[in-house]
Structure 1
């Protein structure tokens, strides 16, 4: 952040606008209507978010460090229980001028659409999750077009094409260097597919639990790899390495298991009753088709007893030393990242921006992360007094406090108490049914 009073006031005004404006309406005009700033505040806000030289990277680094410290200050903290979980999120956009916009897969609508895609990192501990880092993905249609990058304000050193996995590794490396503490790295099948990210994380000495697709190939016993010793003669195709046994898919492996191969593990208390998963874990081997040996991994398969959904993951944990309850916990924690995305979008306007430039996109995301981390801090600070405190509860209380109207604050507290009583009754009823 620029070290001027104007910079701090504009930052405060922008965040207040994000909190006070309703979902879907958080453009600069609406933000400006909601905050008490001088007459020329619209132009100031636009300049602050688009052209001001303050460092979004530095803000995100502070968010990551402060969140790490916040978790570490809790009496039941163990660094091994903190996950550094990577996921992507799409932001639907019109037109062709916003940095990185392209027709690409958008998970938010489950199909290819015109959107920007960000790769995000979240620090997850118990039931708390906040976004702490991000990278904007640039498709090759952008990185191969210098003029287009120039118009969108993309710095020259950011114009080289990077896969989403490479962007994820950049974030892990940066946050480790910043002293952020976590027990493992996680991600969905996009980041668990293939070998690039998991092998890099393994080589860094970190633990990972990455989801994989149902067609992921594994070996149930260690295969022997035969590697050709001599180069082929003229006109002959090189002989590829081969294994002495055939792999199987994780789906086929899972369907072959008997009922005795599964253990029921209660992962956490949820609003609809205890979340119980049927878990199977086994040592397996994977091979990239190139090396001279297969790599040992642990396959974790979970089946949700409520809806029978199945999830497959691979990890580099010590199979003999890691309890199955621990594996179930780590695999299930990705749920909280989805919750963080939902809250950031619905309560803080993560996708509501109307900016085009590279700098503006990162500035907006940094301030959303700063806001979300504050809300997570408030929920943790008041968890004994208000165990059902939600992101929306905190946002509504902030808005009331900004009015400096004691009657409004008391009204919001009373309304929150009624909501919490209703939630508590629903939870108790569902637990009785469960």
Structure 2
């Protein structure tokens, strides 16, 4: 699978040197290195200097978006299906200094507070047999796009202007649909679900959606004549409105919640969209905590379908966790626009190796043996134990320690 993933985009390199460097780079990301910077990856690959690995990110001639396209095709060929879900979310990387592209003091979900950080918006793909990340965009705050000298110093193309995170997410979804990615649904958290423009964008593509919204989100009732807070709508629901259903398997078994579904509400959208609008409410059976979702489908759908998609949204969180803990997604030490996209794309390639291997292991597993299914963490451990042969020559190690 490692060879297959690397081979899917090998033709994007016009010279053998950057192609070999990319192979070493992705293999190094899969290795058991604690820190995965250019220096560590070069040492792992057996290079005498970090030049080849650094050149791959900074000066070598190759198109990271074209490599992304090849990866996306490989992943959707493996996991694709008409009921697959496109999931968008962002993640932040804590940074020092002011020169890394997109960095500023802003809220970071990683830290849970406002920190000096860099935010990337990602598109995940979840099919019946597996899930992983298939696209990425770096978020440029207005403090960057309003300062063209700063953008030029970081290599940001002149045509790149300010775009909100939901606009970046919409761009990735449009690119996926235009590329023929099979999907029937989209899912996202409330940062995207609260955006009427983002919801309209999904309807324009005919994608059904289950988008989280905030408790204070105003739900249009009676054809938009009345607007009521989502939590107020939930408070007035009778006990008979709730059904207990699983949102999918978790680490400890099925994730059961109570669900209430209000069909044919939220009708303030374009009346000619031809679809069905509804509100979905999830209640934690233990704590009573509520979550709210605005839903739309081009055709009538059952409650079970909305619950499934709501549960799948969490796959992007597990992909982030795996990408950071297993392949160093957040360990890049790059400042420029191209370098960020190149590092991130190669990290997605390494993540794809793990995700596809784990899915293949689950698919080929015989009848229930009572053993835990292979995870991406265990797949990476096996790759290091059975495939990657680290350089152990003492002279080489002392050279890098000098």
| TM-score, normalised by the number of residues in structure 2 | 0.87
| CA distance in structure 2 between the partners assigned to 1:21 and 1:292 by the alignment | 55
SS state of the match for residue 315, structure 1?
strand
Partner of 1:240: none
| CA distance in structure 1 between the partners assigned to 2:137 and 2:58 by the alignment | 17
SS state of the match for residue 113, structure 1?
strand
Check conservation: 2:334, 2:340, Cα contact below 8 A: yes
Partner of 1:26: 36
Alpha-carbon spacing, 1:284–1:21, altered in 2? closer, same or farther (3 Å): same
Superposed displacement of residue 201, structure 1 = 1.3
| CA distance in structure 1 between the partners assigned to 2:322 and 2:78 by the alignment | 20
SS state of the match for residue 123, structure 1?
strand
Alpha-carbon spacing, 1:363–1:403, altered in 2? closer, same or farther (3 Å): closer
**1:116 aligns with one of 108, 111, 118:** 118
Check conservation: 1:266, 1:274, Cα contact below 8 A: yes
Whether 2:194 is the aligned partner of 1:214: answer no
Check conservation: 2:27, 2:388, Cα contact below 8 A: no
Superposed displacement of residue 303, structure 1 = 1.5
Whether 2:227 is the aligned partner of 1:247: answer yes
Partner of 1:415: none
SS state of the match for residue 222, structure 2?
coil
Whether 2:293 is the aligned partner of 1:322: answer no
Partner of 1:49: 57
**1:401 aligns with one of 380, 386, 390:** 386
Deviations 1:204-240 (A, max 9, x none): 22222211111111133224xxxxxxxxxxxxxxxxx
Check conservation: 1:124, 1:130, Cα contact below 8 A: yes
Partner of 2:337: 358
Counterparts of 1:33-432 in structure 2 under 5 Å? 33-37=43-47, 39-40=48-49, 42-72=50-80, 78-80=81-83, 82-126=84-128, 128-158=130-160, 160-223=161-224, 243=225, 246-282=226-262, 283-287=264-268, 297-317=277-297, 321-383=300-362, 384-385=364-365, 388-403=373-388
Kindly name which structure, 1 or 2, has the bigger radius of gyration based on alpha carbons.
1
List alignment gaps of at least 5 residues for structure 2: 1-11, 366-370, 391-402
Superposed displacement of residue 177, structure 1 = 1.4
SS state of the match for residue 247, structure 1?
strand
Partner of 1:234: none
Check conservation: 2:281, 2:292, Cα contact below 8 A: yes
| CA distance in structure 2 between the partners assigned to 1:70 and 1:136 by the alignment | 26
Q: Which runs of at least 4 in structure 1 moved beyond 6 Å after TM superposition?
A: 291-296
Aligned residues: 371
RMSD, aligned α-carbons: 2.2
List alignment gaps of at least 5 residues for structure 1: 73-77, 224-242, 406-434
| CA distance in structure 1 between the partners assigned to 2:387 and 2:343 by the alignment | 21
| CA distance in structure 1 between the partners assigned to 2:64 and 2:162 by the alignment | 21
Check conservation: 1:287, 1:293, Cα contact below 8 A: no
Deviations 1:89-112 (A, max 9, x none): 111100000011011110111111
| CA distance in structure 2 between the partners assigned to 1:276 and 1:8 by the alignment | 47
Deviations 1:17-74 (A, max 9, x none): 2122444x2111222222223x23x0111111122221111111111111111024xx
